[in-house]
């Protein structure tokens, strides 16, 4: 491979990683309710929807001389007590367990509690989430550490979640709906790379996007598992991922799929705009009616005042008549 090809490949991988990392971070910072429910589903916890989440995005200095930084995909603390580390992967990497351990160690070190001559370090509970992979990955990674010459050891175990192997229903069961846009990564596995052709028909791809992606988002919004804003953003992220993946896969059928499914993403935006326009018009009408009603009230009050004045004048004239001529 010549240098130009190497540079193109490097930039492509870097750009891809950047897009997926950015989307992952957006997904896991949606509404508190949606994120807490996903933590409960992944880690088997039972936190209430109104829990307090603290995101630990601070970079750690790994090498003081080179000032290299490491940044965990997401370490989030729930209710100021328990921390959870979610590390996303888009390619096979057996060394990811070392990075997860590094991130966990740096977080635990930063939050260590000193008790006289003893330090207590609490590691965040970790999980590796594979958004995509090409070869087999294990169900868990184990880092075996021997602590002394006597053979005392500790196993640092990190479970693995493999989205490519999960159905939309599986993701719902684990409350992982906010990561549903990454189901679109399956498009990569349905490409015959040699012939640049899809192994699924355009209709099958359309059904997958509209049912397994958009349909699941709509369903969970209707069930109250995610907020309206969550649903809108998840559709937006899905649209951007769809376009990016389709563009970089280069299969001709995907252009047709994009055209066929555009309305599935855009209809929601149109509905929002229409609803906002309707609300704006209703507000303006209400304000006009309020002004007209106020005018009517003012006119009614004036009429009432005039009627009262006329009645008072009539009473005065009647009293004057009685005084002059006696009772009728």
Q: Give the DSSP H or E segment for 191.
A: strand 191-192
Q: Which residue has the higher pLDDT, 272 or 52?
A: 52
Per-residue pLDDT at 287? 81
- CA-to-CA dists, residue 121 to 84, 110, 325, angstroms: 14, 9, 108
Q: What are 301's two structure tokens?
A: 């009050």
Most confidently predicted of 89-93, 97-101, 287-291: 97-101
| Segment among 4-8, 13-17, 31-35, 219-223 with least mean pLDDT | 4-8
Of the candidates 55, 60, 58, the one whose C-alpha atom is nearest the C-alpha of residue 26 is 55
Per-residue pLDDT at 2? 40
Per-residue pLDDT at 77? 95
Per-residue pLDDT at 15? 56
Structure confidence by residue, pLDDT tens digits, 118-157: 899 999 999 999 988 888 889 999 999 887 777 678 899 9
269, pLDDT greater than 80:
no
CB proximity list for 262: less than 8 A, separation 6 or greater? none
DSSP 244-269: HHHHHH--HHHHHHHHHHHHHHHHHH
DSSP 18-36: HHHHHHHHHHTTS-HHHHH
CB proximity list for 130: less than 8 A, separation 6 or greater? 88, 89, 90, 137, 160, 161, 162, 163, 164
Number of neighbouring beta carbons within 10 Å of residue 242: 22
Per-residue pLDDT at 64? 45
Per-residue pLDDT at 310? 78
Per-residue pLDDT at 258? 67
* Chain position carrying tokens 């009050």: 301
Structure confidence by residue, pLDDT tens digits, 164-184: 899 989 999 999 999 999 998
| Segment among 16-20, 189-193, 289-293 with least mean pLDDT | 16-20
């Amino acid at each position: 491979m010549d240098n130009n090809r190497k540079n193109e490949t490097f930039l492509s991988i870097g750009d891809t990683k950047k897009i997926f990392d950015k989307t992952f971070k957006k997904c896991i910072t949606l509404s508190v309710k949606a994120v807490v429910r996903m933590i409960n589903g992944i880690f088997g916890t039972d936190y209430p929807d109104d829990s307090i989440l603290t995101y630990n995005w601070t970079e750690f200095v790994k090498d003081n001389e080179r000032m290299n930084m490491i940044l965990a995909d997401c370490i989030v603390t729930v209710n100021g007590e328990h921390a959870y580390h979610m590390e996303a992967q888009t390619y096979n990497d057996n060394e990811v367990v070392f990075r997860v351990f590094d991130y966990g160690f740096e977080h635990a070190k930063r939050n260590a509690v000193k008790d006289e001559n003893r330090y207590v370090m609490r590691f965040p509970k970790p999980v590796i989430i594979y958004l995509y992979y090409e070869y087999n990955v294990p169900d868990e990674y184990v880092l075996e550490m021997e602590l002394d010459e006597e053979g005392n050891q500790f196993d640092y175990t990190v479970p693995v979640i493999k989205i490519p192997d999960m159905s939309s229903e599986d993701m719902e069961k684990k409350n992982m709906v906010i990561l549903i846009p990454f189901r679109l990564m399956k498009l990569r596995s349905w490409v015959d790379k040699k012939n640049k052709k899809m192994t699924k028909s355009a209709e099958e791809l359309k059904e997958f996007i509209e049912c397994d992606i958009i349909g699941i988002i709509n369903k969970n919004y209707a069930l109250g598992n995610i907020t309206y804003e969550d649903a809108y953003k998840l559709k937006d992220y899905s649209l951007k991922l769809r376009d990016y993946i389709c563009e970089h896969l280069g299969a001709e059928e995907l252009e047709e799929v994009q055209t066929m499914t555009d309305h599935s993403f855009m209809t929601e935006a149109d509905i929002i705009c229409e609803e906002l326009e309707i609300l704006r018009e209703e507000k303006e009408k209400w304000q006009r009616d309020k002004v007209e009603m106020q005018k009517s009230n003012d006119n009614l009050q004036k009429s009432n005042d005039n009627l009262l004045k006329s009645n008072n004048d009539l009473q005065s004239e009647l009293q004057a008549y009685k005084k002059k001529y006696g009772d009728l």
